[in-house]
Amino acid sequence: MNTTILELLASRICHDLISPVGAIHNGIEFMEEMGEAGNCKEALSLIMHSAGQASARLQMFRLVYGLGGRDSHIKPEDAHKAFGNMIAADGRVTQEWDPHAELGFGEALPEGYAKILAGTLMLAAECLPKGGVVMVSGDSQSAATRVIARGTNAAPREYAEEALIHLLPVSDVDPRLVHPYVMGLLCKEYGFSLVIEQNASDQVDLLLSRS
């Protein structure tokens, strides 16, 4: 992997974590200023909310980017839970799908399936600038999983498709595009194909299949 991509990925992760971690720090400082006699309920609420945000994002990053995501014990329900925790923070994006349903690959899921699915869910959420819903269904005949992002002005980020299939030069990849670029690398490593389809003005389909 190009070192620039590693640096951009680190920047993306740090960017997504710095806000909740900073809020935890601010909450602790506020409690210190209030002292023992102060009412710290507001600060504690802020700390708990921000700690939950940071934890949820770390769990998702570990599943998608970490080596543990390839563990055969990781199932679609783990991706469902991790993604649900991550999007719960602001409530703009929801998910409506059954992780126990047949998702197109049968019972014997290929290595890394849940990892790639989780990364695809993240990519779908990025297609919803004004919020919306993410749905997942399976097509057993074509052995494919369809992830649907539906919401107002749903669309992939500019150049996300080019980043996914590595038609975008590394020099043009930025932290906003590093996730689709890395997803392209992961799909190649685990033998998957991921295609982005703009089916309507309010819907983007991401088709995950074996390459």
164-187: per-residue pLDDT in tens? 999 999 999 999 999 999 999 999
What order of strands is seen across the sheet that includes strand 93-95? 93-95, 132-139, 144-150, 203-210, 192-200
Looking at the chain, how many residues does it have? 211
Instruction: Give the residue with greater pLDDT, 90 vs 63.
Output: 63
Please give the Cα distance from 147 to 199 (Å, whole number): 12
Please give the Cα distance from 95 to 113 (Å, whole number): 18
* Domains recognised in the chain with CATH numbers: 3-210 (3.30.565.10)
Q: Is 128 exposed, middle or buried (0-12, 13-18, 19+ CB in 10 A)?
A: buried
31-53: per-residue pLDDT in tens? 777 765 556 777 777 778 888 88
**What is the pLDDT of the chain when averaged over all its residues?**
89
